[in-house]
Amino acid sequence: MLDFDFYSPEEEIVLPLYEECGIRVFVKRDDLIHPYISGNKWRKLKHPLEHARKENKSLLVTFGGAWSNHLLATACAGAKFGFRTYGFVRGDVVENPVLKLCQLFGMELHFVSREYYRDKKALFYTHFANSKDAYFIDEGGYGLLAAQGCSEVINELNGRYDHCFCACGTGTTLAGLAIGINNRQWPTTLHGVPILKGGGFIRDELTKLGVVNQAQIRLHLDYHFGGYAKTKPELIEFIKAFTRQTSLLIEPIYTGKLFYTVHHLIAQKQIARGSTVLVLHSGGLTGLLGTLNRF
């Protein structure tokens, strides 16, 4: 087992809208797990890193865009747990604070064209087929072991909630939460907020990741604000107001869209009075570094 103690409490946030609608909203503060191995990034890395260690692998190879929280989390985790790290970065050679941090933690970066980046397995085998030390970790940590780590959120909760919300990129976190809820046989409605346009593909990903029963899952496909890393003025204004009112820092890529969705559904009376709601804060606050000019 990896030697890593972390702190992720449940914290209630009280806003006039929630009180008016008779709804209690709690946040699972996975953003407090670690400054860089943050939120669902730790959840998704935990079991792959344990597996890599059991397999006597010493080099973690993974993938991401130029502002990838996953690349940064993997780089930091490698430094913490004694792995070398290598990151394939999608697109032209650039410099930014996130990639600089990756390098500070010891990650070797390799920029590749978007065309070559599409086939990640091919990239891995082209460069590391003869390496006995290399261990493949998919973009965003996607995979069955990652979903297993995310499922453990449910066992940490102090009680059962009527609704549980999370942001969705690859669908791994949502799959893990679904598995955890199904294992506990809770009647909780699980809500996924895809941050990509056309997020309906998440249903297929849930099946691939072992979610047999999707009856309790609702996908909210209209809160992507134009697609990945896209924003609109109303999202930015919401984030500014929410952060001022709650002291809870969120960003426009994932968690801003997530909390906007929760707020909007409550305002539209789509959550019943008397309900308890849990929102998973999945961390990734370094995403703010690439978006501060929008504020």
pLDDT, one tens digit per residue, over 92-128 is: 999 999 999 999 999 999 999 999 999 999 999 999 9
Looking at 107, 141, 175, the residue that finishes a domain is 141
Do residues 75 and 208 share a domain?
no
pLDDT, one tens digit per residue, over 140-163 is: 999 999 999 999 999 999 999 999
Check if the beta carbon of residue 86 is closer than 8 Å to that of residue 110: yes
Give the mean model confidence (pLDDT) for residues 48-52: 98
Do residues 27 and 83 share a domain?
no
Q: 263 is in which domain, residue-wise?
A: 10-36+150-294
- Say if 5 falls within a structural domain: no
- Say if 1 falls within a structural domain: no
The radius of gyration of the chain from alpha carbons, rounded to an integer in Å, stands at 19
Do residues 166 and 98 share a domain?
no
Residue with tokens 């799959």: 175
DSSP lists the bridge partners of residue 27 as 11, 279
- Say if 4 falls within a structural domain: no
Task: Calculate helix-pair angle for 172-184, 144-156, nearest 10 degrees.
Answer: 50
**Strand runs labelled E in the chain:** 10-13, 24-29, 59-64, 84-90, 108-112, 134-136, 163-168, 189-194, 217-219, 276-281
Nearest to residue 167, comparing CAs of 77, 118, 228, 245? 228
pLDDT the model gives residue 84: 98
Strand 10-13: give its sheet, edge to edge: 10-13, 24-29, 276-281, 163-168, 189-194, 217-219
Do residues 131 and 219 share a domain?
no
Do residues 282 and 265 share a domain?
yes
- Say if 121 falls within a structural domain: yes
Count of structural domains, the chain: 2
Q: Read off the CATH number of the domain in which 128 is found.
A: 3.40.50.1100
Give the tokens for residue 84: 């070398």
Give the tokens for residue 155: 């066992």
Looking at 141, 167, 193, the residue that finishes a domain is 141
Check if the beta carbon of residue 252 is closer than 8 Å to that of residue 236: yes
Indicate the pairing of strand 108-112 with strand 84-90: parallel
Residue with tokens 């978006």: 291
pLDDT the model gives residue 249: 97
